[in-house]
Amino acid sequence: MKVGIGYDVHPLATGRKLTLGGVTIPFNRGLDGHSDADVLAHAIGDALLGAAGLKDIGSHFPPTDPQYKDISSLILLERIHRLLTDRRLRIGNIDATVVAQSPKLAPFIEEMRANLGKALQVGPERISLKATTSEGLGFTGRGEGMAAMAIVLLEEGD
């Protein structure tokens, strides 16, 4: 078994769609970044890559590369899944948390789990997603950005 931890942060900006776990969430701002800036997918991707000993998401999909401009982070997760499969690693489970003062994310959790499960070819029962606020503290509490953290378990074998 191999364990990995991922963490990601993006600022909120006007004129961007808010995408988390591949779900477009109605909100007056979105996360700013080179790709779709999906902090949840990025944290999960980093955790998966870390568990496999494959560096970080920026090493595989650099923000300086134009081919990744506005790309769906679900596509990046599909590519990470292929890297894992090539190394005979399979996902045991994923546990992730999004930190955001608003909007309320609970209504979107199940759709996020389904999207992430499809991209990573695992049942949504292997993916635990949570959302929390930071009680008004820090950059997330002030509504300046969002963060996500994830931990994953990979298992070796077919």
Q: Which domains does the chain have, with CATH numbers?
A: 2-156 (3.30.1330.50)
Structure tokens at 20: 């988390």
Q: Residues 6 or more apart from 137 whose CB is under 8 A from it? A: none
In terms of C-beta density within 10 A (0-12 exposed, 13-18 middle, 19 or more buried), how is residue 72 classed?
A: middle
In terms of C-beta density within 10 A (0-12 exposed, 13-18 middle, 19 or more buried), how is residue 86 classed?
A: exposed
Q: Residues 6 or more apart from 58 whose CB is under 8 A from it? A: none
**What confidence tier does 128 reach under pLDDT thresholds 50, 70, 90?**
very high
Q: Once rounded to an integer, what is the mean pLDDT over residues 72-97?
A: 97
**What confidence tier does 157 reach under pLDDT thresholds 50, 70, 90?**
confident
Q: What is the pLDDT of residue 158?
A: 66
Q: pTM (2 decimals)?
A: 0.96
Q: Tokens 């364990």 — which residue?
A: 3
